Structure 1
């Protein structure tokens, strides 16, 4: 494709390790992080979005070589560095090992480009750090680079699938006009609350009474202060109305006596006993009786079943025997087939019995424990009749009536008679949520009156009509109370449960689904613990306090298939991922409450009873009838949406499209999975050529998410350019020849950039699809167009061939070890087979044994494990040095110590074999992952490459490689 544009940084190289590290770290940031304002599923880390946007807009140095060469300072630096680069190139070429051996001779222009690229990388490495997200000096440095590359006039950035708002938020932070749209009203409100509303009231002081004197307020700090003040006002009003429903508890002497505020009431669902003798007894369904499993502080609920009176009571126990604690941990569960056991008769309670009880209205609930807050930790108490009475006395006047979807993968409660979203809340929870909803209008009136007084302004137009005076400001503040209520619902429902390991309440959405819970918690909105109103509002004002409003922003409700974009738009977007997440179905949980709170503020956005479903671009079979229809719907709709991007976006900038894999999808189908291939097919058919793919660590790898059936793994950022209108058509054979010509050097470059082996298949898609997608079509033997799925399989085969071909460059002993490992792993094999393998490589088994790679005895041969290697091994003293040994010793130290002086020292000492060692790590990772399916053995090779850059940097600083003042490395 004859490009008429300047290449951008993202099309050539980015500091992937730094971006991934910052993205992973960001997942643990809580207070002040915009993601804490409101839950949205699979939102991209801000660090990744920030870096991608910068790299989309900033010119790659290779596109302005003449300009760079004209800079005397940069040229002089390059001239000083060139001799060392040439010497390193000569050494790599002379070693005839590794991908670097085929690298072209570096020129002065190459060095200039590399120096400039490193400068841009340094900007990104600073930019992605969370602590720099509010650092104006760092942000302005990035903005200046963007302005220079864009000729001073900044293009608008648009995300037509704005979701949680990460991309437009980061565009705004970088000083770019930020636009976004989404079909889902909950997503639209998240975007408005972060991007549109705060910028409307930028740099304004608060209006609440009793403001402390302050010279100025930046960005949304004034708005944040008012949210905090009036949120506390709402809490006081709510306590006056419903405080009696949340009584304190009397602490026994062992906890110091006195009164204490309850953190949580723990309830168990109950069903009639299946035993006819106890058919009128409601027996509990409890997943665990444990309240605290912390060692030395074990606390649990002991049920006491009295068969004579047919009653069940509960008391709290501390400590206990091993068998008692093990039994408590099991609750009343009895394995998957039997589900639960009856606590009265020990009879099995099968799921069919539970489902029948739920659907016929015979499922109840019983208070089984109370958790209170006190100095020094939690207080665990037996249930109280008064507390149960207080809970059951609540009578709500409204609850959501929206039906739960018939989606068996993600919604389990309809199986048990909980059919509406309102059914997922207790009466007390409904009363509390309704009370805070009702208070929003009163609070809004109070803010409006205070704004008129404080700012001496008129009432003005509503917020949705573009107003900016008293009414609009009052509505703006109240938006964040609606978010507080919505956030409360994540902790105030019967889907929440008690986490006995951490001694806190689990929220409803531990993953992107609504499971059935058996023992659940009721939080206290007036406590100082999880789910309290103050905390739910605090997430909002802390987010506001950290926003950087460097440009205006606007988020609207719009279907991506018919979206219209501003002139000269840059597209950076995070679309839905095939069938991974049913956003509309899940967000109805929040929508009902948000609609109740904000319908008068945004009547058009909340004019319908539930979120739009029909146009949602998700391939859900339960909605479309069959898997094939769902796939066709997704492909057609996504094709229209991406075609709109291609036709309306600026030709000067590449488009960035995120795609996230499900881990199960990768495990089962690899990189040619149905979802991925379908998505790529839509991209290619829409008129884009894929010019790059960057794998990013954008998902939190914690156990709860990873255990979900639809948990997301890594994301890939597709870099796309508009395809030439006169693109050629080629045959399958021509495509394969082009792949064999172009993919190996591209893979070598990726290796040189230390792309982790685990990410290599996804990274290789970029140059591979670059070949495939630049043509109008690739024709099969029967003249049918090749599918993307087939192209992906051919790309992956070429990658395997390349990694396999690397083996021919290693020493004979290492090549023997690779083949032996591929066939036997670390297990034993027959000497005769080993002898044949060795002879085929021109050596004997004794040679490999002499090299210290294998053990040969009693007619059997096996590779030595890393923990069997000589810890005092020195490469400079080894007269039979092999690449295999160098790698295994390096991995051994890295596994044990990580990036330490000793590990870096060893890398320094293996010196000219380093490139070959890295190639071998890629090769062995590929064998472990794709041939032996040995994830445990694959992991250390991947980890070593992931740390390769830092290890190399550390090794370069070491001069005394022997510890005796000597620096010689000739061995």
Structure 2
């Protein structure tokens, strides 16, 4: 039986839904449980599982309608999901901009004294629905809840679904069960051997599937167990869990209050403590507080000022600073480009020199900092670095907040905290209340050792943090009774340590000045200034929203190496590590150091280390590890089962590697789809952070056929064209589902579908090809096959209405611009689209063609934005016919709207004007097509001029 996902997939809509879910941030269903890297959107998982389970019929258009209906992505589903109303002003603005609605403005609205009201004769609800249904999918989503938040479809939808699928379902769980029995004779089993943050097993269980979930990492196992058992807990259990959380928090709060270490002399309580690292300037000997900036809060205009006191610096905190003082505080940071900048002598010192790093006789770097002892929690007096409290954010009893520099009372509180920790840390470590685990050397963890000399995980927490978090651990152990309460405690502690460590940045931007989490990116970054949270700001870490869902608890969750998983599944849906894998094993040890004792008590059958030795790493063993894993999965999959492998690369060489891995594992490709989700850069990343997830659909190899490359090249060409044609036949012109990168991806998949259908390709040595794909992709025949498939695809995806013969005469940069503008006409502003075009048309640089390169708002320059500037970075574009036409449009606009001036420019610049006239007309025809497109108001003026120029050229005769 062929599955829906093997024939088609609503790429555009699933991409938009995935993006909406990702942008929900902490509002996402599972993120509240704890930190994990790279959780896949639940809507993507739901679509993949449904796509595997739902059969493809002989009516593909109806199949798509029904699939969208089940996913609540059809028009009626969006109506049911709509939960936000329009203001009258919004409705009026939409009606004015819409060609379809302008005629109704007078009947719907009354405008008196610039006030817009609805006409008394119409009902707001009715007009709202009419307006909603004329909007594009993106605009509708703004007003809608996510598919997972819709409790159920309406009766009419289920009648249509059941009629087409031969079921009698009343909800999604019914449908999954009935489709499973029709296909497999029992409920479908969905497996994931890289369960990570639990997205795949959770969504499978929520859909009603039986689940098998495993991971090598205990933190991943914990998050997955919690996703199914905590989010699937009964209302009574959730009440008990919330009571347990409150009891623990109240006990910690009571003890901290009793110690008096967070209150000042006025009875005000600290919200946050700001610390900076200090070091002596090697040039003048002055002790310098280190910070890239001395702005504490831009919203409150709070700064820190350094006051020279001969031996070092006093730090004075000032609120309500003027603009000059704010600029000065920004400018006078003492860390610039990884160098200490001494405010006394003005000399700069590289931080590596300050640390006294050196090279030994063999050329290896020897770190200069002293290694801390296991029970230490602070720097020693003779250390190169020290740590200093320089500002405190307090809250008055009336709720008002303010900053001040520490006074004698505050420093006394700090001393008291340090003393308590020093007296108790040995006992706490023995009891498992604070970490005692050593930091193992690794790609990410070496930074901690090199930059601070920290040797154990407890060193990442200052005394105040150790004291507070240890109280949560101790009272959790005392209060937790059930496994679910103990699990909630571990998750809470993990959230506390993620949001309250020496690696937490202070965010000074905006009105809400606050601390960031440790893992704001996939690294362990040491800081020169950070914070410690008081109890007032720890409540949002300890308490977290737990969503309760009806879940199929028939779930088998294991800690086990993926090479030896022993559960047999109908569908394996996996998001494996990649060749440039996140170092989960290293990053998760930050949590495991705190979790060990509690994990042993809660899950005695689990181990509590990260199993570094077994982790799949992006090294020379990556491919072999993946082959072993997927060979095992193929052996533990029913013969009529399927696999969906998610990965994030579009590089043909990586595609070739993955295809060869799957091929060698006994699997064959049947389809591939690209789900694009983009967010703007965050953390340390520069530019745009673009993320797209490829769904590679696979089945078991069942034949032993052998073929030769010269025989199958014709088959590949035919398969690529057939695949693209079938997608084009299904395309919705008003709401396009596929963009050009989707067609290219389909071409990749089509070529692999032909290749992997054979057990052996006569002249191909798969081991040798895999090695080439990794080390020398230019000489890999499989990489070349995939590249050729891309060329076939681009021959098939000529812009609508563009003459195919003229298209072939265009330069690569001209094709890039025209295809980009076509994407914009279809409301596609994803930077990934332009990146794919650049690869497809072999454009090295395209920056000069872009008006905006931000994710989801990327677009090309208009003729007026190009003006007459030289475009020199892109080969041959400056002298191209398209560039001349764009310049002619600009000249026509600039010269008081006189297209004759533009035509004169074209005739002067084009040597063979009459021989090029057909191409000039074609380009102008395409460019004027941007006219009256709702999402392209920036092209209105240029489109009008292109229209006028087209008339002149068309009527021009010798």
State the TM-score, normalizing by the size of structure 1: 0.69
Q: CA deviation at 1:701?
A: 3.9
**Aligned equivalent of 1:406:** 441
Q: CA deviation at 1:122?
A: 2.1
**Alpha-carbon distance in 1 for matches of 2:406, 2:881:** 74
1:263 to 1:781, Cα distance in 2 relative to 1, 3 A: closer
**Aligned equivalent of 1:617:** 616
**Alpha-carbon distance in 1 for matches of 2:798, 2:329:** 56
Contact (CA 8 Å) 2:271, 2:533: kept in 1 or not?
yes
- The answer to whether residue 248 in structure 2 is matched with residue 234 in structure 1 is yes
Name which of structure 1's ranges 769-778 and 176-185 shifts more when overlaid on structure 2. 769-778
1:388 to 1:897, Cα distance in 2 relative to 1, 3 A: farther
**Secondary structure of residue in 2 paired with 1:318:** coil
- The answer to whether residue 905 in structure 2 is matched with residue 856 in structure 1 is yes
**Alpha-carbon distance in 2 for matches of 1:764, 1:892:** 33
Query: 5 Å matches for 1:815-894?
Result: 821=814, 856=905, 859-860=908-909, 882=922, 885-887=925-927, 889-890=929-930, 893=933
Q: CA deviation at 1:748?
A: 3.8
**Alpha-carbon distance in 1 for matches of 2:388, 2:526:** 16
1:765 to 1:231, Cα distance in 2 relative to 1, 3 A: same
Contact (CA 8 Å) 1:497, 1:505: kept in 2 or not?
yes
**Alpha-carbon distance in 1 for matches of 2:400, 2:810:** 57
Deviations 1:271-292 (A, max 9, x none): 12213443xx3x2110221122
**Aligned equivalent of 1:123:** 70
Aligned length: 735
**Aligned equivalent of 1:157:** 190
Q: CA deviation at 1:786?
A: 4.7
1:599 to 1:8, Cα distance in 2 relative to 1, 3 A: same
Q: CA deviation at 1:678?
A: 3.1
Q: CA deviation at 1:881?
A: 6.5
Q: CA deviation at 1:494?
A: 0.4
Deviations 1:774-803 (A, max 9, x none): 122334589997556532443233323442
**Aligned equivalent of 2:295:** 290
**Aligned equivalent of 1:192:** 225
Higher relative contact order (CA 8 A, sep 6+): 1
Q: CA deviation at 1:558?
A: 0.9
Contact (CA 8 Å) 2:187, 2:209: kept in 1 or not?
yes
1:504 to 1:690, Cα distance in 2 relative to 1, 3 A: same
Deviations 1:208-262 (A, max 9, x none): xxxxxxxxxxx532222112112111122112323356645569xxxxxx64332
Query: 5 Å matches for 1:688-727?
Result: 688-697=667-676, 700-704=679-683, 706-707=685-686, 713-727=691-705
- The answer to whether residue 755 in structure 2 is matched with residue 772 in structure 1 is yes
1:677 to 1:814, Cα distance in 2 relative to 1, 3 A: closer
Q: CA deviation at 1:507?
A: 0.4
Q: CA deviation at 1:154?
A: 1.3
Contact (CA 8 Å) 1:728, 1:777: kept in 2 or not?
yes
**Alpha-carbon distance in 1 for matches of 2:904, 2:230:** 70
- The answer to whether residue 588 in structure 2 is matched with residue 587 in structure 1 is yes
> Alignment partner for residue 199 of structure 2, among 163, 166, 173?
166
Deviations 1:528-559 (A, max 9, x none): x3xx1x323432xx22x333313422211111
Q: Which runs of 5+ in 2 are unaligned?
A: 82-144, 154-168, 357-367, 372-382, 732-736, 816-842, 850-865, 883-887, 893-898, 912-917, 948-958
> Alignment partner for residue 12 of structure 2, among 17, 35, 41?
17
**Aligned equivalent of 1:273:** 281
Q: CA deviation at 1:592?
A: 1.4
- The answer to whether residue 392 in structure 2 is matched with residue 370 in structure 1 is yes
Q: CA deviation at 1:17?
A: 1.7
**Alpha-carbon distance in 2 for matches of 1:708, 1:813:** 36
**Aligned equivalent of 1:137:** 152
Q: CA deviation at 1:817?
A: 6.2
**Alpha-carbon distance in 2 for matches of 1:391, 1:165:** 40
Contact (CA 8 Å) 1:508, 1:514: kept in 2 or not?
yes
**Alpha-carbon distance in 2 for matches of 1:886, 1:837:** 16
Contact (CA 8 Å) 2:743, 2:793: kept in 1 or not?
no
**Alpha-carbon distance in 2 for matches of 1:829, 1:229:** 65
**Aligned equivalent of 1:69:** none
Contact (CA 8 Å) 1:156, 1:570: kept in 2 or not?
yes
1:368 to 1:828, Cα distance in 2 relative to 1, 3 A: closer
Q: Which runs of 5+ in 1 are unaligned?
A: 1-5, 63-111, 200-218, 252-257, 449-473, 620-629, 840-844, 863-877, 911-971
Contact (CA 8 Å) 1:490, 1:507: kept in 2 or not?
yes
Contact (CA 8 Å) 2:10, 2:64: kept in 1 or not?
no
**Alpha-carbon distance in 2 for matches of 1:580, 1:382:** 43
Query: 5 Å matches for 1:300-699?
Result: 300-307=303-310, 310-322=312-324, 324-336=325-337, 339-356=339-356, 358-359=369-370, 361-373=383-395, 378-394=401-417, 395=421, 396=425, 397-398=428-429, 399-408=434-443, 412-416=447-451, 417-444=453-480, 448=481, 474-502=482-510, 503-524=513-534, 526-527=535-536, 529=537, 532=538, 534-539=539-544, 542-543=545-546, 545-566=547-568, 568-606=569-607, 608=608, 610-619=609-618, 630-631=619-620, 633-661=621-649, 670-673=651-654, 676-697=655-676
Contact (CA 8 Å) 2:499, 2:517: kept in 1 or not?
yes
**Aligned equivalent of 2:110:** none
Q: CA deviation at 1:500?
A: 0.9
Deviations 1:846-905 (A, max 9, x none): 9x999999773694359xxxxxxxxxxxxxxx999746534564289465459x9x99x9
**Aligned equivalent of 2:376:** none
Q: CA deviation at 1:293?
A: 2.3
Contact (CA 8 Å) 2:261, 2:414: kept in 1 or not?
no
**Alpha-carbon distance in 1 for matches of 2:411, 2:204:** 51
**Alpha-carbon distance in 1 for matches of 2:491, 2:764:** 58
Name which of structure 1's ranges 432-441 and 745-754 shifts more when overlaid on structure 2. 745-754
Contact (CA 8 Å) 1:196, 1:553: kept in 2 or not?
no
**Alpha-carbon distance in 2 for matches of 1:410, 1:885:** 58
**Alpha-carbon distance in 1 for matches of 2:71, 2:15:** 12
- The answer to whether residue 802 in structure 2 is matched with residue 810 in structure 1 is yes
**Secondary structure of residue in 2 paired with 1:797:** helix
**Alpha-carbon distance in 1 for matches of 2:908, 2:636:** 70
- The answer to whether residue 239 in structure 2 is matched with residue 225 in structure 1 is yes
Deviations 1:618-673 (A, max 9, x none): 22xxxxxxxxxx22x22122111101111221222321111124xxxx6xxx3324
Query: 5 Å matches for 1:192-211?
Result: 192-196=225-229
> Alignment partner for residue 22 of structure 2, among 7, 18, 27?
27
**Secondary structure of residue in 1 paired with 2:905:** strand
1:708 to 1:176, Cα distance in 2 relative to 1, 3 A: farther
1:41 to 1:377, Cα distance in 2 relative to 1, 3 A: farther
Q: CA deviation at 1:520?
A: 0.6
Name which of structure 1's ranges 366-375 and 886-895 shifts more when overlaid on structure 2. 886-895
1:19 to 1:781, Cα distance in 2 relative to 1, 3 A: closer
Q: CA deviation at 1:815?
A: 6.5
Contact (CA 8 Å) 2:498, 2:518: kept in 1 or not?
yes
**Alpha-carbon distance in 2 for matches of 1:33, 1:425:** 29
Deviations 1:9-58 (A, max 9, x none): 11111212221111111123324621220111111111111111111111
Q: CA deviation at 1:726?
A: 1.3
**Secondary structure of residue in 2 paired with 1:799:** helix
1:492 to 1:358, Cα distance in 2 relative to 1, 3 A: farther
Query: 5 Å matches for 1:742-781?
Result: 742-750=719-727, 753=731, 754-780=737-763
Contact (CA 8 Å) 1:263, 1:372: kept in 2 or not?
yes
> Alignment partner for residue 175 of structure 1, among 199, 202, 208?
208
**Secondary structure of residue in 2 paired with 1:412:** helix
**Secondary structure of residue in 2 paired with 1:393:** helix
